[in-house]
Structure 1
C-alpha cells in the first residue's frame, strides 16, 4: 500500500534539463522518457530521435511513441530508484528522485547514510548515527536557541507588568519593552535565525527518508522489520473513528509524539503558548502513516535535543 504513489513521468533530451511531465505533452525525444513510483523506475531509450505523447493526468498514463514509417527500436530499463545506481549511468536518471528543494543536501546525506550502512550493516542505526552527527554539528545553533528561550522566559513577569502598565500607550510600551530586552540581553527574535538555518537540513532529511529505496525491506531492531513502512505493532485504529479510522498504530510514532511533547513543554516561554502543546498530538497522528525510518529520525532528533536542553540547564 505504501508504494501506491501517483506515478511520475520525466523526459530528457540532449542539451536540455531533465523535465517532469505534469501536463499532456507531445514532443520529440532523443534520450529517454521514464515513468516511476516511489521506489521503482521504467525508462525507455530510443535508438534515435522519435516523437512521443503522454497524458500524466490519466489514472493509468500511457506513453505513446510515433516512429512514423521507421521501425521502432527502444531499449528498456527497469530498476529501483537508488541514487548511486542511477547516477552511475551518467544520463540524468537520478533527477527522477523526489529529493525536494534542497536536493544537493539530500544527496550528501544519502552518501553518508550508505557509508554508515557499510560499517554497521543496519540502516536503523545508520539513521540514528547520522541524526546524532547532524545534531552535534548544529549544537551551537541549538544552544543559542535554548539560551534565547530561557532569557525570554526569565523576563516574562516584567514584560507582563509593562504591558499592563502602558496598555493605553502602545508607543511608550514598545520603548520600555525594547529597553528591557536591551538591559536583560534578551532578544524576542533570537530563536528565529537558528531555526531558519536548520530548516533546509531537516527538510532534506525529511524528503530523503520518505522515498529512500534502501530502506525498503531494511530491518532495524525487534518488531521493526521494514523501515520503509509504518510501525504497525499495535494493529489498526477503530474503523468508526473519523478521518483516522483504520490507520495503523505502533510504539515508534507514539514515542516520537511523547518526546516532542516534553521538548515543547520545556521550551515554552510564554503561558499563552500552551496551545503549542497540542502540536505533538497532531504530529503523532500524521506520523502514523509515515515510514518507520523517517519516524526513527524524528524520534532520535527529539531525544538528542531534550538531552542537550537538560545538559545546558545543569551547566548553568
Structure 2
C-alpha cells in the first residue's frame, strides 16, 4: 500500500502547489482553499483517468442488457445443469464481446484511492515525529501546513468523533468541528443516495428478485451505513466523498443522455410472441348496412 499512499500524496501535493501559487497561503472564510481544492482536484484527476474505463463499462452494461432475453433463455433451458449453463453463458459473452465484470472496474480502482487518502489524512497529526512527517514524499513544511489546514474553521484532519486531546492539538474546539462535520455527513449521505438512485435508473431495476434486493441494499443500505462510518471519517475524506458523488451525478446524467437504456420491447421469459398476422383485426361476417349481398348469400337465399 505504500505505493498507493505515495501516489495519492503526489497528486494531492501537486494540486496543492498549483493552487498555492494562485492563492498563496492566505485563508478565506476560515478555509485553506489550496488544500481543500487540492482534495477536490485529486478526485477530478482520478475520475478523469478512469473516464475511458467508465465509458467501456457503460457499453458493456448496455450489451449485457441487450443480451438479457438470451441469458434468461439459457438459464431456463439449463436450470438443472449448472455447469452447462455457465459454459453457454461464457460462450455467449465471448461471442457478443460482453464482460459482466467490467462494471466493477471503476469501483475496484477507487477503493484503494479512498483508503489511501483516509490513511494520509489520519496521518496528519501535529505531534507526529519529523521522520514520520516526511513519509510518502512530503516535506516537513507541507506536512505542518496540511495538518493545520481548515474548512470553515474545522481542521480537515479532524473528525466528528475527535476527542478533546486531539482537538486541542489541532488548535480547535469540538463545536466547530462537529457542526462542519455534521453538515458534510448529511451532504455525503444525500449525494450517495442520489448517486445510487441515478445508477439504478441508468441500468434499470432488475427483474430477478435477488438482484432487485441488492439494488435496494445499495439504494438504502449504503447511505444508512455512512451515518455511522461518517462519524470517524476525517473531514478531508468526506470532502473527497462528496466531490466524488457530485462528479458521479454529473457523469451519469451525461451517460443517460448519451447512452440511454434500451427500451423494454422484448417479451418476458415464458411469454409467447404473437405472430404479426394474428394481430390483424378479423373481418366481420355480418353485412355492412346498405351493402349488396354477395353471390354466396344470394344463392343461399334462393335455396331457402
TM over 0.5: yes
Tell me the residue number matched to 1:298: 241
Q: Which residue of 2 aligns with 1:72?
A: none
Residues 1:181 and 2:93 are matched in the alignment: yes
Matches of 1:151 and 1:266, distance apart in 2: 19
1:257-272 correspondence runs (5 A):
257-268=189-200, 270-272=211-213
**More displaced, 204-213 or 289-298?**
204-213
2:118, 2:69 → 1: CA distance? 38
**Scaled by the length of structure 1, what TM-score is found?**
0.54
Structure 1 residue 258: Cα displacement: 2.2
The structural deviation recorded for 1:302 is 1.6
Residue segments in structure 1 that go unaligned for 5+ positions in a row: 1-98, 233-247
Unaligned ranges ≥5, structure 2: 26-32, 126-144, 162-177, 204-210, 260-304
Any conservation in 2 of the 1:231–1:252 contact (CA below 8 Å)?
A: no
**CA offsets 1:103-153 (integer angstroms, 9 cap, x no match):** 321331342143144133512223212322221122112222333334334
Give the 3-state SS of the residue equivalent to 2:185 in structure 1: helix
Q: Secondary structure of 1:228's match? A: coil
Query: In the aligned structure 2, how far is the partner of 1:259 from the partner of 1:163?
Result: 36
User: Root-mean-square deviation (CA), in Å?
Assistant: 3.0
1:202 corresponds in structure 2 to 114
Equivalent position of 1:273 in the other structure? 214
For the residues of structure 1 that align with 2:191 and 2:64, how far apart are their CA atoms? 23
The structure with the largest strand share of the pair is 1
**In the alignment, does 2:8 pair up with 1:106?**
yes
Q: If each structure's helix is expressed as a fraction of its own residues, which one has the higher value? A: 2
Q: Please state if 1:218 is matched with 2:149.
A: yes
Alignment check: 8 A CA contact 1:146 1:309 kept: no
1:39 alignment counterpart:
none
1:255 to 177, 187, 195: 187
SS at match of 2:100: coil
Aligned partners of 1:252, 1:140: CA distance in 2, in Å?
30
**Residues 260-312 of structure 1, C-alpha deviations (whole Å, 9 max, x = no match):** 22333343554242223312321332012221111001110121122112212
Contact 1:231–1:251 (CA under 8 A) maintained in structure 2: no
Greater relative CO (CA pairs within 8 A, separation 6+): 2
Distance 2:158 2:242 in 1: 16
Q: Distance in 2 between matches of 1:156 and 1:285?
A: 37
Match of 2:284 in 1: none
The answer on whether the counterparts of 1:217 and 1:225 sit within 8 Å (CA) in structure 2 is no
Q: Which residue of 1 aligns with 2:17?
A: 115
Number of positions where the alignment pairs a residue of Structure 1 with one of Structure 2: 202
1:229–1:107: structure 2 CA closer, same or farther, 3 Å change rule? closer
2: CA distance, partners of 1:153 / 1:283: 30
Kept after mapping to 2: 8 A contact 1:181/1:187? yes
Check 1:197–1:261 CA distance in 2 against 1; reply closer, same or farther (3 A cut).
same
